[in-house]
Structure 1
């Protein structure tokens, strides 16, 4: 009965938004249908359209008064759903209508969803509009944790370039632990270059190298960095970036130093 009730709770507006039936959706709105109707799990038509990348429906619903930051039973907003679908068009429409990029603490943010999906374009847009790089979800950790756990190298690099804390911990587990667990040597290399602590221990007392298979590329990479100090140039780069502070790329770009050094400090 519960399953039947769930589906019976859906309205024609939900269905039109979900399937991208723009003409039908417009007719329903003009006839007075409610654009903020919710299912038993608090899903609105705007959630449906956003999750399926129906940008025209998203705009039509918003123009008709849909609540841009409505939350479903899991706490997700339409912007979260648009990022989960990787629809940059929907993300832009929602942001232009005032969607909040930073939700309350300890819930998955739009940036988490974009990193989970591996949509680097969405990640960059969210960073540009002020997404909290250290937003912490109680299950997933920070967006960087998500990007590394899902092996989305491009997303991880964008976060790190923007100033994400490479050593942020979730139960003492860092992004490097995730990279080691998924056995991704390229991710390990990236994280170390941005100052990842190869000696960090998680709540089980294990270092990242403890999660790598012996003689694997990841194990060799971690072993190399455990035995070989970082170069002076790399240490200086990390020191300058720390001094610049959170989101310090703008400050770095204005330094009166050669462009080549600017590029080095910005990891370009």
Structure 2
């Protein structure tokens, strides 16, 4: 077996104490441990134990070591027991150069673990826009298969720990992660991911963004043509924003035509789902009491008539640029 080359000085090299550690909980512990993602990479002791030197090099961002191992005959697609490949590791750790080297050596960009996790999902989970672009440019499927973890849902979810962390350095790290996920979401939409992809137990990406209080993700999805009414079952994105007391998101949803009279399974309207005396309740009550301007009603009618599949044709309409930008919410 070839020896692992020593770590080299590299901008991608990570200190040993910052290496990502896998958890060993089984699926029954998933909810109990309050994991931050709707989907996760669940690995067994065996999967951790049978990691190859190539997995370690990819995980740690040791590009020279990785290239040396590949030149010595290591298979770029070598899997663990749980079918985790080195490319999975590189993308989860945001090492784009290692991902490129693996792909150049024949790594499968659509490889799936036993849990259905792809390298693209890992890239979105890590908020790695660079890895996301690299994967998509090399044939990664932007849309997940049915019953598999969804990259666009993962990119649409904002890490909830940003709402409660007190340590400044952690807050900065989480902020960078959030920005990275927004960039991943934008890339997925550009490459054709379905913005209305509905997973029964999760809902649509827009619902995930609203329930996660992700204003920018909400805006990106709506700009990409997401249906403002589609959430999870009868629970609309507006219900989710109201429950989370997010007046900024509520205003964006209403601007895109969200129905304030939609009822969920409990027959509650969004205003009835908002916390009493909250900003969300105040925003919705004010909207109900204020007649909508004609220009807003016209914009919604035009966009509804065109349909999501033709919204990209708005710039080609024979209209003044000011009106085109208005129709595009710009």
Class of the TM-score when normalised by the shorter of the 2 chains = over 0.9
Cα contact 2:61–2:90 (8 A) shared by 1: yes
- Report whether the alignment pairs 1:190 with 2:231: no
- Report whether the alignment pairs 1:115 with 2:156: yes
Counterpart in the other structure of 2:142: 101
SS of the residue aligned with 2:308? coil
Q: How does 1:156-235 map to 2 (within 5 A)?
A: 156-235=218-297
CA distance in 2, matches of 1:227, 1:108: 42
Tell me the TM-score normalized by structure 2.
0.77
CA distance in 2, matches of 1:6, 1:173: 39
CA distance in 2, matches of 1:92, 1:129: 9
**Stretches of structure 1 lacking an aligned partner (at least 5 in a row):** none
**Stretches of structure 2 lacking an aligned partner (at least 5 in a row):** 1-23, 25-42, 159-177
- Report whether the alignment pairs 1:68 with 2:109: yes
Cα contact 1:180–1:188 (8 A) shared by 2: yes
- Report whether the alignment pairs 1:59 with 2:100: yes
Superimposed CA distance per residue, residues 92-132 of structure 1 (whole angstroms, 9 cap, x where no aligned partner):
11112111111223444222121124422222222112111
Counterpart in the other structure of 2:171: none
Deviation at 1:36, TM superposition (A): 1.6
Q: Point out the more displaced range, 167-176 or 35-44.
A: 35-44
How many residues get paired? 268
- Report whether the alignment pairs 1:44 with 2:85: yes
CA distance in 1, matches of 2:44, 2:193: 36
Tell me the TM-score normalized by structure 1.
0.94
1:30 to 71, 75, 78: 71
CA distance in 2, matches of 1:5, 1:107: 22
Deviation at 1:32, TM superposition (A): 1.2
Alpha carbons of 1:228 and 1:106: their partners in 2 closer, same or farther (altered >3 Å)?
Answer: farther
Cα contact 1:106–1:135 (8 A) shared by 2: no
1:251 to 284, 303, 313: 313
CA distance in 2, matches of 1:24, 1:82: 21
Alpha carbons of 1:105 and 1:242: their partners in 2 closer, same or farther (altered >3 Å)?
Answer: farther
RMSD (Å), alpha carbons? 1.8
